[in-house]
Structure 1
């Protein structure tokens, strides 16, 4: 009998133990935030600011309505965005953007299954807001003012403006996360976000030498100007590249085409929350809301700078 008990003891030592924090049931319950460290919660909540933006911009652009129709509960009672509307898109591009929109809804659900989250912040998605970005990128007013909803090329260029910023945020956050659960979630989000960015860049690359009417500037030049602006606003050096670069900056220093942005090893760039706020606020200062977030972003990280 004592030998039997000894065998049972040895067996128990080598049987894997399963904790609530490792089960899908716990993640789906919405209580995961209770077992994550504070720093992981903050880093998982911050991207909601960009996910709200992308969900609203893609929903409105493709379908002509936003979260208030698609899933009001996900907005957590936050104010409706200002100024978005249905864009003039071909059936193919409308279908792609609609896919992105539903993916962003999924991302909101995924993040809120892990952390409590916060209400949708006020978003300025007016054509004037995008026009301001483009004017800043070119260092002069574009005439007529840029309208992201006017046509397909304009909408794709507008889609180039912010979603990539969220991608770099996930890359930057991943190294700072402490728990496997948070890292798994961010890796999964990053996979789809990077795929969306690749599709947007590829669609634009096909049109890279097309001149954007009526400005007489090519699509490639637009992306270059936008990337230069984001580097400037972020304030931390080169973390952004347009569709066509000098050969020395292309993959392995061998090619000018730049469908995917990356460093000299073709590794994605990462940004901190502070860099992202400087960009999306439009003024290069994480303490001064503006741009697409007139009242500021939300979450502990963003709020900590609004003092």
Structure 2
């Protein structure tokens, strides 16, 4: 359903995911290569504005090629979606260090000094990356049952598989470093993931659909593990999120009609635009 009460079509649902695919593509491309979609495949941006603040990250020899692989996978995802259901212009993205710093301050509950910089090193970049593919993953899990056309279902199932793999790799790399203190802060990698997940749950307003890389045994697989490399529910099934829940998180406002954070002018596509229109604020109309 869209905010107007009209049933969302397969095209609406699949196109909605382009917003997160654009965000991931720009973050990973710039982080690994120092260049974005306008350099790698400019036609896919469809005239949308370049991201603000994206830059090359200081990645080590293990993490750099992994992020490069993720980056090119995102380019392929955007192309596949556009070819299957059409697309829309890339929305304005805020990938500035200061924007991530504010998110991390909110997650930990106090002001980090110095401000968190996702581009400073591999650990920081992985923690910032922890923010992104998982949200897209839960979105695809929520979308798949609502699709009717075989082509749309095949596409989303394929996208879901790769997204789940990306998230698992990021979580595994962080799990290996779980007890490591993130310098110069007094929090460990595991503590950061727990607090980021808690904030996403708070913003999503739909209960517990997000867990850090280490959990109490009561939340572990079959109540027997504290490792949580694959985030899943009590039956070890993937969590699902709806478009409004996703918008609440990526806007950083807890309100699907109030844009901000990573999408300062709002997400694009019919579904996202109906929430802005119904709320009577921001930019009306669809893109």
TM-score (normalised: structure 1): 0.87
8 A contact 2:212–2:231 mirrored in 1? yes
Residue 102 of structure 2 corresponds to residue 149 of structure 1: no
CA drift of 1:92 comes to 1.9
Please give the residue correspondences for 1:1-307 in structure 2 after superposition, counting only pairs within 5 Å: 39-307=9-277
Q: State how many pairs are aligned.
A: 271
CA drift of 1:180 comes to 1.7
Larger radius of gyration: 1
CA drift of 1:235 comes to 0.2
Q: Following the alignment from structure 2 to structure 1, what is the Cα–Cα distance between the partners of residues 187 and 71?
A: 29
Unaligned runs of 5+ in 1: 1-36
Partner SS state of residue 211, structure 1: coil
CA drift of 1:257 comes to 0.5
Q: Following the alignment from structure 1 to structure 2, what is the Cα–Cα distance between the partners of residues 213 and 115?
A: 44
CA drift of 1:158 comes to 0.2
Partner SS state of residue 150, structure 1: coil
Q: Following the alignment from structure 1 to structure 2, what is the Cα–Cα distance between the partners of residues 220 and 80?
A: 33
Q: Following the alignment from structure 1 to structure 2, what is the Cα–Cα distance between the partners of residues 189 and 116?
A: 16
Q: Following the alignment from structure 2 to structure 1, what is the Cα–Cα distance between the partners of residues 46 and 218?
A: 47
Alpha-carbon deviations, 1:244-299, whole Å to 9, x = none?
Answer: 00001000100100000000111000000000000000010000110000000000
Alpha-carbon deviations, 1:18-42, whole Å to 9, x = none?
Answer: xxxxxxxxxxxxxxxxxxx961000
Partner SS state of residue 199, structure 2: helix
2:284 aligns to what? Answer: none
Deviating 4+ runs (over 4 angstroms): none
Q: Following the alignment from structure 1 to structure 2, what is the Cα–Cα distance between the partners of residues 246 and 269?
A: 18
| Superposition RMSD in Å | 0.9
CA drift of 1:163 comes to 1.5
Q: Following the alignment from structure 1 to structure 2, what is the Cα–Cα distance between the partners of residues 89 and 270?
A: 31
Sort the Cα spacing of 1:255 and 1:38 in 2 relative to 1 into closer, same or farther, 3 A. closer
Alpha-carbon deviations, 1:110-146, whole Å to 9, x = none?
Answer: 0001112100000000001101110110121111110
